[in-house]
Chains A and B, each alone.
Chain A
Amino acid sequence: MEMLELTAVQAREAMAAGDLSPAEYGEAWVKAAAGDELNAYLWRDGNGDGGAIAVERPGLAPVAVKDIFCTEGVPTTAGSRILEGYRPAYTSTAVRRLVEAGAPVLGKTNMDEFAMGSSNENSAYGPVLNPWDRERVPGGSSGGSAAAVAGGLAPWAIGTDTGGSIRQPASLCGIVGLKPTYGAISRYGMIAFASSLDQCGPLTRDVRDAALLLSILQGKDPCDSTSVGLEGGPSLPEQEDLSGLRFAVPAELARDAIEPGVREVFEATLETIERLGGELAETPLPHAEHGISAYYVIAPAEASANLARYDGVRYGMRAEGDSDLIEMYERTRAEGFGDEVKRRIMLGTYALSSGYYDAYYGQAQKVRTKIAADFGAAFDRFDFVVTPTSPSVAFGLGEKTDDPLAMYLNDFFTVPMSLAGIPAISIPAGLAEPQGGGPRLPVGFQIAAPAFAEQKLLDAANALERAIGFDARPSGAPFVGYDHIKRTGSGGEGDG
């Protein structure tokens, strides 16, 4: 078998058994990543700029790291001009854990500036192209990580999810994306966007790879007092059916807002759940529809505070020219930040300003309480809540850049879970024709679970993934990944 075809789980087994040389395998991926035509990478290992993260005992697949994670001596930009050339003095806990476990850093991936965006078009370093159709976006903000995995430029990747930034690009690129429970993985060294929502997570070819990556990343960290970790796990999922598990579809699910092709794949996946023995019913989530409103107050409010640190004094760029201190601050931020970042800083500053605080920020935090309570009530009766991950398949480059609100509504199905802090996974469920026609593109299916129920979530997602048997791939992608189709050797499960 060609070594790039191995899933990360298989590669680990092969290296442990001595059947695969870590050096050769790593080198093959460095070579694959060097063929990046998607603008997925902002920095690559072996590009000769002097930066590198040493791995003492390589034994895991090399990982593509979203450029929001600080990496000592390796450029870290968060997709922003204001951090151009920045080489952090320390490494984030998530990356440190990977490296200590034996996973080399393959590269740093492109992203929407400071993780603000759903299309990767807000990167100061140019958009990422979707490997399925290079005229379309890969989703965002972890667009580079998703495109790298889907396009055969990395075996697996990490990203961050604040309102959908792992799940939505995973959906649009036809891969698996998991946002763990808030607190499962340390945020230390992860450049902050909205601190009460930001969470690191895996983007992988299949669910078992996601489980393996999560098991390495998760854990309590003295450097992040909000980190909790996951007790005892997770272990690699083996489950093949869904008998006895109860799945809820939100009663208010706005089916009209979902593209017909996406709706079709979603309904077919619900049938697959029933075929596997899962029970389906509707549950009210009356406040989820207000998720976007609450999110676009809370996240910008937190961002406006977090981004105050970029002032041209301690790191990053400083605007050229003679000026006094205040003028230097203003010019540095005016030149260093892109439009979307400025938009959110203004929104957040407004929402926190005296006289508006209660009406916006206070009210949004109360909506957050109600959304979390809705999920709590649903999980009293059900194991999971399911929705499409995104209302549409990948949309065209430039299609939504002139309408920020339309862009925000991409996150309609992913934001409620973020506000509630619960884990949610997107798995590829099929292909659908985009609205307006064109070649068929991947559709993601989202499963959400109660806080810290990652093992149960991964077990169910694995069973469903096997039954769906998604084996499509972008044309020209240099591998036939998605090994769950053939991994049992029986060939019996590809009939979904």
Chain B
Amino acid sequence: MAGELSGILEHVDRIAELDLDDVSPTSHVVELENVLRADEPHESLDRDAALAQAPDPVDGAFRVPSPQAEG
């Protein structure tokens, strides 16, 4: 995969040659104003439903292996 990634980066590198010092970057194309939603309570996802798709749910929580290797 290293060769493929180098090939792609070589193509991408063409934009490094463009003189864009005075250009501002675009992160989002549609002009939007920040808005705050109304702070109204609403029903959220049921806990059992949220856990139902987990590989290893237990006691209302997601169980994961120990962060530290055993032995």
- Determine how close the nearest CB of chain B comes to the CB of A341; give it in whole angstroms: 12
Contact of B12 among A225, A313, A360 (CB under 8 A): A360
User: Does the CB pair A196–B29 fall under 8 Å?
Assistant: yes
User: Does the CB pair B16–A324 fall under 8 Å?
Assistant: no
Q: Is A222 located at the chain interface by the 8 A CB criterion? A: yes
User: Does the CB pair B62–A325 fall under 8 Å?
Assistant: no
Q: Is A308 located at the chain interface by the 8 A CB criterion? A: no
Interface string of A284-318 (1 = CB under 8 A from B): 00000010111011000000000000001111111
Q: What residues of chain B lie closer than 8 Å to A196, measured between beta carbons?
A: 27-29
Q: What residues of chain B lie closer than 8 Å to A326, measured between beta carbons?
A: 67
Within 8 A of B (CB), among A310-352: 312-318, 322-328, 339, 342-343, 346-347, 350
User: Does the CB pair A324–B67 fall under 8 Å?
Assistant: yes
A89 CA to B70 CA, complexed, in Å: 35
User: Does the CB pair A365–B54 fall under 8 Å?
Assistant: no
Known pairs A290-B14, A318-B55; A324 contacts B1 (CB<8 A): no
Contact of A372 among B1, B13, B26, B69 (CB under 8 A): B26
Q: Smallest CB-CB separation from B7: which chain A residue? A: A405
Contact of A228 among B9, B25, B30, B55 (CB under 8 A): B30
Q: Is A86 located at the chain interface by the 8 A CB criterion? A: yes
Known pairs A182-B30, A323-B65, A324-B67; A367 contacts B18 (CB<8 A): yes
Q: What residues of chain A lie closer than 8 Å to B8, measured between beta carbons?
A: 296, 343, 347, 404-405, 408
Within 8 A of B (CB), among A346-383: 346-347, 350, 359-360, 362-370, 372
A346 CA to B64 CA, complexed, in Å: 25
Q: Is A183 located at the chain interface by the 8 A CB criterion? A: yes
User: Does the CB pair B65–A89 fall under 8 Å?
Assistant: no
- Determine how close the nearest CB of chain B comes to the CB of A441; give it in whole angstroms: 27
Q: Is B58 located at the chain interface by the 8 A CB criterion? A: no
Q: What residues of chain A lie closer than 8 Å to B16, measured between beta carbons?
A: 359, 363
User: Does the CB pair A89–B45 fall under 8 Å?
Assistant: yes
User: Does the CB pair A363–B53 fall under 8 Å?
Assistant: no
- Determine how close the nearest CB of chain B comes to the CB of A402; give it in whole angstroms: 9
Q: Is A33 located at the chain interface by the 8 A CB criterion? A: no
Contact of B5 among A313, A323, A346 (CB under 8 A): A346
User: Does the CB pair A370–B23 fall under 8 Å?
Assistant: yes
- Determine how close the nearest CB of chain A comes to the CB of B59; give it in whole angstroms: 15
Q: What is the total number of residues of chain B having a CB less than 8 Å from a CB of chain A?
A: 42
Q: What residues of chain A lie closer than 8 Å to B4, measured between beta carbons?
A: 343, 404-405
Contact of B37 among A222, A312, A323 (CB under 8 A): A222
A329 CA to B50 CA, complexed, in Å: 20
Q: Is A21 located at the chain interface by the 8 A CB criterion? A: no
Q: Smallest CB-CB separation from B38: which chain A residue? A: A222
Q: What residues of chain B lie closer than 8 Å to A486, measured between beta carbons?
A: none
Q: Is A91 located at the chain interface by the 8 A CB criterion? A: no
Interface string of A413-453 (1 = CB under 8 A from B): 00000011100000000000000000000000000000100
A88 CA to B45 CA, complexed, in Å: 11
A297 CA to B25 CA, complexed, in Å: 13
User: Does the CB pair B29–A372 fall under 8 Å?
Assistant: yes
A313 CA to B30 CA, complexed, in Å: 35
User: Does the CB pair A339–B29 fall under 8 Å?
Assistant: no
A485 CA to B9 CA, complexed, in Å: 47
Q: What residues of chain B lie closer than 8 Å to A370, measured between beta carbons?
A: 18, 20, 23
User: Does the CB pair B54–A315 fall under 8 Å?
Assistant: yes
Known pairs A324-B66, A421-B29; A369 contacts B24 (CB<8 A): yes
Q: What residues of chain A lie closer than 8 Å to B68, measured between beta carbons?
A: 324
A128 CA to B18 CA, complexed, in Å: 39
Q: What residues of chain B lie closer than 8 Å to A318, measured between beta carbons?
A: 55-56
Q: What residues of chain A lie closer than 8 Å to B12, measured between beta carbons?
A: 293, 296-297, 360, 364
User: Does the CB pair A362–B25 fall under 8 Å?
Assistant: yes
Q: Is A39 located at the chain interface by the 8 A CB criterion? A: no
Q: Could you list 11 A-B pairs, sorted by A, with CB under 8 Å? A: A225-B35, A293-B13, A324-B69, A328-B64, A350-B9, A359-B16, A365-B27, A369-B25, A370-B18, A370-B20, A421-B30
Query: Which of B's residues lie within 8 Å of A, judged by CB?
Result: 1, 4-5, 7-9, 11-16, 18, 20, 23-30, 32, 35, 37, 45-46, 49-50, 52-56, 62, 64-70
User: A89-B53, A196-B27, A314-B54 are known contacts; what are 18 more A-B pairs with Cβ within 8 Å?
Assistant: A89-B50, A226-B30, A293-B15, A296-B11, A313-B62, A324-B65, A326-B67, A327-B69, A343-B4, A350-B5, A359-B16, A363-B15, A366-B23, A368-B25, A369-B25, A369-B26, A372-B29, A421-B30
